[in-house]
Amino acid sequence: MTRRNRRLLALPLALLAGFCLWQAARPAWAQSLVADLSSHLIAITTGFTGTDVVLFGAVDGDGDVAVVVQGPEGEVTVRRKDRVAGIWMNVEDVAFARVPAYYNVAVTAPLDGVVPPTVLQRHEIGLDYVRLLPEKAKLPPEKLAEFRAALIRNKQRAGLYTTEVGEVSFLGQRLFRTRIFFPANVATGTYTASVFLIRDGDVVSAQTTPLLVSKIGFSANVFEFAQRNSVFYAILGIMLAVTSGWLAGIVFRKS
Amino acid sequence: MQIYLPIAEISVNALLILMLGGGVGFLSGLFGVGGGFLMTPLLIFIGVPPAVAVGTQANQLVGASVSGVLAHWRRNNVDVKLGCVMLIGGAIGTGLGVWLFGLLQKLGHIDLVISLSYVLFLGTVSSLMLTESVRAIVKGRGVPVRSKLHHHTWLHGLPFKMRFPRSRLYISALLPAFIGFVGGVLVAIMGIGGGFLLVPAMIYILGMPTALVAGTSLFQIIFTTGLAAFLQAVGNQTVDIVLALLLLVGGVIGAQFGTRAGAKLRGEQARALLALMVLAVAVKLAVDLIVRPEDLFSITLPVMT
């Protein structure tokens, strides 16, 4: 099979793959792209202050590489304040369903103008194309845009969404790597790192790798205990407080 | 030294938390207030989610109050009978407050209600206290306001009159119970002991001797904060035991020094200082409510279930 033929075959398949890959983390369907993470588990221990994960891989042939890492999805409510009787209070809210808790994107070269928006939209490459849908479908577009921008802005302020597109650097012709930072306030759950090979304005190959963020050790035990045995946890907490208060009282009486 | 808080899910500097606990603990011992009105906003400021700040603070206040009460107990400055009557109202208020907290959180108005209550309660109470104590200081050297005790108002006509020998009071049991009730609501909603409100209320409404007020309010606060911490931990899982422990270690030590320093301070001077401090917090929060926020939009994650 010539390379030209393979490329022709790849185009329609990419459309299919783009859809499939979001459903499950599968191994690469095409051999033109391989990627992996330096670590598949981010352990949140007591000393956790955020961490870097290196994503590296190799491509077969030329093209641009885009890396999208996103975190566990959940509902987020965006509230707008307005002045009511002189004070600022929440007057309006829009609930977004399935908002990724974390979003990070890195590319080898700027994609705007090179890749059509529909392609970026389909693969959610770039903050402008992240799928953020309100729970209630009926919403004027300008309002939706306003709340969507506010959601992204707030997430960026918390350090959970990228403020600018990161850089994927090539080492020679085929090897590439990028560094993804996870801040200390990162949510626990399953993340996906998706790597896209973009050629002639379309995604020709993609690969998704799972990444788990989990509490480990002491902090995991405490969290688990608080959730499962909340009554005992509550009593323990109060006893701890009473004991330390009482101890301090005893110690200080003698001095 | 950074430490990850398992429930708050953020990483904080352990030394900073210890110092915050110590500083606030000192003031709490000095004035006989829980110090929650300073600590809760501070915790939220360093990035602790408000719900976790309130829940953890309630837990922390239990320890701080125990430590504070011990010092007052040794000086025989606790009116247990009056404290127990306040507690009945306090328990009801706490239960109602925890329920209200959940409701307001769902409606998205919890931050506003917290700020408004701070401004309203703290502003009013501190202004009243400040004028009174300044007047007392100016008038000169603590003339006991004995005559006020016999100044009869409608408050003295309420039923269920009870004798409180330790405080030398003969008043309706409804009064301390109601003060306790308001304190209980504040514990649950604002994550504060309510001391800043209880202390002046006990002085001005009940007419209690100033020496007994700090100990008795702390005595009562142990139980209302204990109940609030329990309800928050069981209902909302918002008590961070690691954060509470750090605050406690700093807090109980600070409170001991505070109580000692408090013994050297004259009543009206302590009240004037407390009033100034509370007023500062109230003014800061009022300004925040009036000044246009940097970003009109904010996001909230769904309440943990």
pLDDT score recorded for residue A109:
87
What ranges make up the beta strands (E) of chain B?
A: 2-5, 10-13, 161-164, 169-172, 297-300
pLDDT in tens, A182-206: 998 888 899 999 999 998 888 888 9
Test B63 with A245 for CB contact under 8 angstroms: yes
Distance from CA of A123 to the nearest CA of B (A): 25
Least confident of A129-133, A150-154, A193-197, B114-118: B114-118
Is beta strand A103-107 parallel, antiparallel or unpaired with respect to A166-167?
A: parallel
Residue of chain B whose alpha carbon sits nearest to that of A253: B71
| pLDDT above 50: residue A22 | no
> Once rounded to an integer, what is the mean pLDDT over residues B86-98?
90
B151 pLDDT higher than 70: no
Nearest-neighbour CA in chain A from B7: distance (Å): 6
Looking at the structure, give the CATH architecture of the domain made up of residues A3-216: Sandwich (2.60)
Q: Where along chain A do its domains lie?
A: 3-216, 217-255
DSSP character string of chain A: --HHHHHHHHHHHHHHHHHHHHHS----SSTTEEEEES-SEEEE-TT---EEEEEEEEESSS-EEEEEEE--EEEEEEEEEEEETTEEEEEEEEEEEEEES-EEEEESS--BTTB-HHHHHHHT-SGGG---EESSS---HHHHHHHHHHHHHHHHHTT-B-SS-EE-EEETTTEEEEEEEE-TTPPPEEEEEEEEEEETTEEEEEEEEEEEEEE-THHHHHHHHHHHSHHHHHHHHHHHHHHHHHHHHHHHHH-
The torsion angle over the Cα atoms of residues A47, A52, A53 and A54, rounded to 10 degrees, is: -150
* pLDDT band at residue A178 using 50, 70 and 90 as cut-offs: very high
Residue A238: Cβ within 10 Å count: 23
The shortest C-alpha distance from B110 to chain A (Å) reads: 10
Give the pLDDT confidence score for residue A239 in this predicted structure.
92
The arithmetic mean of pLDDT across residues A149-164, rounded, is 90
Helix (H, G, I), strand (E, B) or coil at B148: helix
**Geometric angle at alpha carbon A101, from A141 and A13, rounded to 5°:** 75
Task: Assign B199 to helix, strand or coil.
Answer: helix
pLDDT confidence of residue A20: 46
- Which candidate from A226, A230, A245 shows the least CB-CB separation from B64? A245
- Most confident option among A2-6, A212-216, B135-139, B265-269: A212-216
Q: Which of A188, A238, A253 sits opposite B229 (nearest CB)?
A: A238
Q: Do B108 and A76 lie within an 8 Å CB cutoff?
A: no
In the predicted model, is pLDDT for residue A167 greater than 80? Answer: yes
Query: What residue segments make up the domains of chain B, in order of their start?
Result: 7-290
Band the pLDDT of A87: cuts 50, 70, 90.
Answer: confident
Phi, psi of A163 (to 5 degrees): -85, -35
Distance between A4 CA and the closest CA of chain B, angstroms = 49
Which residues 90-149 in chain A show a CB within 8 A of chain B?
90, 93, 147
CB B6 within 8 A of CB A225: no
A181 touches chain B (CB under 8 A): no
Contact A115, A202 (CB under 8 A): yes
Q: CA A242 → CA A146, B131, B186, B249, distances in Å?
A: 49, 36, 21, 12
User: In sequence order, what are the residues at sequence separation of 6 or more whose Cβ sits closer than 8 angstroms to the Cβ of residue B129?
Assistant: B200, B271, B272, B274, B275, B278
Kindly list the residues from chain A whose CB atom is less than 8 angstroms away from the CB atom of residue B6.
215, 218-220, 222-223, 226
- CB–CB of A242 and B66 under 8 A? yes
- Three-class secondary structure of residue B12 per DSSP: strand
Mutation for testing the B interface, residue in A51, A188, A246, A252 having most B CBs under 10 Å = A252
Asked if B294 reaches chain A (Cβ–Cβ under 8 Å), the answer is: no
Q: In the prediction, which pLDDT does B99 show?
A: 86
Please count the other Cβ atoms lying within 10 Å of the Cβ belonging to residue A2: 7
Tell me which of B67, B75, B77, B119 to substitute to probe the interface with A (most A C-beta atoms closer than 10 Å): B67
For chain A, say whether B149 makes contact (Cβ under 8 Å): no
- Residue A24: pLDDT over 50: no
Contacts A230 to B, Cβ<8 Å:
233-234, 237
Cβ separation A249–B301 shorter than 8 A = no
- Cα B26 from Cα B274, distance rounded (Å): 12
Q: How far apart are CA A9 and CA A20, in angstroms?
A: 17
pLDDT-based confidence at residue B91 (cuts at 50, 70, 90): very high
pLDDT at residue A28, as a whole number: 42
Asked if the interface predicted TM-score (ipTM) of this complex is over 0.85, the answer is: no
CB of A171 within 8 Å of any CB in chain B? no
Chain B window 26-55: which residues touch A at a Cβ cutoff of 8 Å?
47
- A254 to chain B, any CB pair closer than 8 A? The answer is no
Confidence of residue B304 (pLDDT cuts 50, 70, 90): very low
Residue B200 pLDDT class (50, 70, 90 cuts): confident
Q: Residue A10: what pLDDT?
A: 53
Asked if residues B1 and B15 have their Cβ atoms less than 8 Å apart, the reply is yes
pLDDT digits (tens, 9 = 90+) for A56-75: 999 988 888 999 999 898 88
Chain B neighbors of A247, CB-CB under 8 A:
252
Lowest mean pLDDT across A186-200, B71-85, B163-177: B163-177
Determine phi and psi for A116, rounding to 5 degrees. Answer: -60, 145
Q: What is the pLDDT of residues B8-34, one digit of tens each?
A: 888 889 999 999 988 888 887 777 666
Name the residue among B72, B59, B34, B64 with its Cα closest to residue A247: B64
Least Cα separation, residue A135 to chain B (angstroms): 13
Q: Can you read off the two tokens belonging to residue A222?
A: 């405490």
Mutate to test the interface with A, among B245, B299, B304, B305 (most CBs of A within 10 A): B299
Which pLDDT band, with edges at 50, 70 and 90, does A16 fall under?
A: very low
Q: Which one has a higher pLDDT value, A120 or A19? A: A120
Is the pLDDT at A19 greater than 60, yes or no? no
For range A23-49, the mean pLDDT: 74
Length of chain B in terms of residues written: 305
- Cβ contact A87–B290 (<8 Å): yes
Task: Flag whether residue B144 sits within 8 Å of chain A, measured between CB atoms.
Answer: no
Mean pLDDT, all residues of chain B: 81
Q: By percentage, how much of chain B surpasses pLDDT 90?
A: 7
Residue whose C-alpha is closest to residue B16's, from B42, B40, B41: B42
How many angstroms separate the CA atoms of B247 and A245, rounded?
A: 11
What's the number of CA atoms in the CB half-sphere (13 Å) around residue B262?
28
Q: What are the angstrom distances between the C-alpha of A66 and each of A21, A63, A69?
A: 15, 10, 10
What's the sign of the alpha-carbon dihedral A160, A165, A170, A171? negative
Please answer whether residues B155 and B173 qualify as being in contact, where contact means their C-beta atoms are separated by less than 8 angstroms.
no
Give a three-class secondary structure readout of B39-93.
Answer: HHHHHHHCCCCHHHHHHHHHHHHHHHHHHHHHHHHHCCCCCHHHHHHHHHHHHHH
Question: Residue B145, SS3?
Answer: coil
Instruction: Measure A153 CA to nearest chain B CA, in Å.
Output: 9
Q: Looking at chain B from residue 223 to 262, which residues have their Cβ under 8 Å from any Cβ of chain A?
A: 226, 229-230, 233-234, 237, 239, 241-242, 244-245, 248-249, 252-253, 255-256
pLDDT band at A83 (very low <50, low <70, confident <90, very high): confident
Instruction: Please report the number of interchain residue pairs, chain A to chain B, with beta-carbon separation below 8 angstroms.
Output: 187
Q: Which residues does chain A have within 8 Å of residue B222's beta carbon, measured at their own beta carbons?
A: 242
Condensed to tens digits (0 to 9), the pLDDT of residues B204-230 reads 788 888 778 888 888 888 898 899 889
Mean pLDDT calculated for residue range B132-146: 67
